[in-house]
Structure 1
Amino acid sequence: MQIEHVASPNFNERKHPLDMLVLHYTGMATGEDALERMCDSKAEVSAHYMVWEDGRITQLVEEDKRAWHAGVASWQGQQDLNSRSIGIEIVNGGHDFRAPDGGLPPYPRPQIHAVLDLVHDILGRHAIPATRILGHSDIAPLRKQDPGEHFPWERLARAGISLWPDFDGTTKEVIGKGLERGASGSSVWRLQTMLSEIGYGFDVTDIYGETCENVVTAFQRRWLPEQVTGQADLTTLRRIGVIHALFAA
């Protein structure tokens, strides 16, 4: 694995031990645009690595330094995730720069192979639990969508990175009609409590409002990518139960 080095000025010292990895898409028209922005001191944004479509890897910030990629975010009750994480930007237009057919642009195979190699390399140096290998939308569900529902999390799990349970084999029966925006009561409180205990950072209430909808959407982007609706139907509730049990184990 060859890594080129392009130094970004946008970093400072870590304040916490490193035990997290966050994956992003660049969300810009080209990788060159993204690299230029992350090297612009006025932009005040960076990442440790960027992975190009053809599998090239560029390192912008040394791993022992605090790159500025997470922004306002939280996970499992912790903040300042920049101090706790390594950030990897993956060149992909995402939701803002779509494919010609209007869909989300694919992640090419050489790029995903490079991501796998890079993450394996990082995990060989740092003790990062699978429950803390995350997408930007996991740690900032109210404002971020990346790396998007088109990112192959299941492929990473097959390579020994992150988690992807056998949902069919581990799903417990859930009865009822599901939940959606406007619902309230103890069922909503239980739903939000499970999402919070998985790690999503938001205030638990008994009202299914905009915030709850955004967090459910973020969960679906990661764990139910074929159904990103923001509604907690029975399939979504089953998956939340499975992931809650897995993360609590």
Structure 2
Amino acid sequence: MDWIESPSPNFNDRLLPITMIVLHYTGMPDAAGALARLRDPDAQVSAHYLVEEDGRIHRLVDEEKRAWHAGRSHWRGVTDVNSASIGIEIVNPGHEFGYRPFPDEQVASVIRLVHAIKDRHEITRGNIVGHSDIAPARKQDPGELFPWGKLARLRLALPRPTRNLVDPGWPDGGFLLALERFGYDVSDAEAAVTAFQRRFRPEMIDGIIDAECRMILLALLLPKPQGDD
């Protein structure tokens, strides 16, 4: 895979093995500004890769090093997500500067990159997540327009379950326990539910637990979620 070497000084040593991939959007007006920030030693942020809208890939930090992209986060019991993950920044203005769909060329490069990293480190598709999944109270990226379904069809992410759905009838507390078991930090309940919806039911994001949320989550907890993706 071809990429542009754009080294960032913002990294240190890992303390955990690599078990995750975290996808972000840059959330800045343009690619040049995002790339400059990720390479600025004063900013104290970085990622392993950045993917531009035309599909060009920049490598900023070697995969064996700990990039600084996740911040305060949590996924499936891991709280030092930076140590356990590869971070990919995807150029997009984000919700603050004019959120828009991700171009096909960009998505194709993200897919190639995720596929190579997943194979190289034997990462399970349940550990290929968005920034909002690992930091629901703080983050929205890569957001409801990111085409998770395209990744899921290639077994590069979990699918949205659509078949044989059954409502387990959990009370809200039971849903949150199940959501925590799945991997989310539920200390801010509404934020966790919103993040779950943003990922698995993006057409309606209201932070309210309903029958569809319960059905989707139950199916995701089964050994083989069944979906159209």
Shared fold (TM-score greater than 0.5)?
yes
For residues 36-51 of structure 1, the aligned pairs below 5 Å read 36-51=36-51
Rg larger in 1 or in 2?
1
Q: Distance in 2 between matches of 1:73 and 1:18?
A: 16
Is the 8 Å Cα contact of residues 47 and 60 (structure 1) preserved in structure 2?
Answer: yes
1:171 is matched with which residue: 158, 165, 173?
165
> Which stretches in structure 2 are left out of the alignment for 5+ residues?
none
> Quick one: distance in 2 between partners of 1:197 and 1:222?
17
Partner of 2:217: 240
Mark the CA change 1:32 to 1:247 in structure 2 (over 3 Å): closer, same or farther.
farther
Q: Is the Cα–Cα contact under 8 Å of residues 76 and 199 in structure 1 kept in the other structure?
A: yes
- State the Cα deviation string for residues 2-35 of structure 1 (Å, max 9, x = none): 1010110100000000111000000000011100
Tell me what 2:75 maps to: 75
* 1:93-108 → structure 2 map (5 Å cutoff): 93-98=93-98, 104-108=99-103
Aligned partner of 1:218 in structure 2 is 195
Shift of 1:232: 1.1
8 A contact 1:131–1:247 mirrored in 2 = no
- Whether the 8 Å CA contact 1:23–1:134 is kept in 2: the answer is yes
Query: Match of 1:189?
Result: 173
Instruction: Identify if the C-alpha distance between structure 1 residues 95 and 247 changes in structure 2 by more than 3 Å, giving closer, same or farther.
Output: farther
Give the drift of 1:174. Answer: 5.0
Q: What is the DSSP-based 3-state SS (H/G/I as helix, E as strand, rest coil) of the residue aligned with 1:125?
A: helix
List structure 1 segments (4+ residues) > 2 angstroms apart after TM superposition: 244-248
Q: TM-score, normalised by structure 2?
A: 0.94
- What residue number does 2:54 align with? 54
Query: 1:14 is matched by which residue type in structure 2?
Result: R
Match of 1:145 among 140, 145, 149: 140
SS of the residue 1:22 aligns to: strand
Identical aligned residues as a percent: 47
Distance verdict in 2 for CA 1:246–1:139, change over 3 Å: farther
What is the SS of the residue equivalent to 2:129? strand
CA distance in 1, matches of 2:22, 2:217: 21
Rounded to whole Å, the distance in 2 between the matches of 1:239 and 1:34 is 35
Match of 1:183 in 2: none
Task: Give the partner amino acid of 2:193.
Answer: V
Q: CA RMSD in A?
A: 1.5
- Tell whether 2:115 aligns with 1:120: yes
Distance 2:147 2:223 in 1: 19
Residue equivalent to 1:198: 182
Deviation at 1:165, TM superposition (A): 4.4
Q: Residue in 2 aligned with 1:129?
A: 124
- Can you give the 5+ residue segments of structure 1 that lack an aligned partner in the other structure? 99-103, 176-185, 204-210
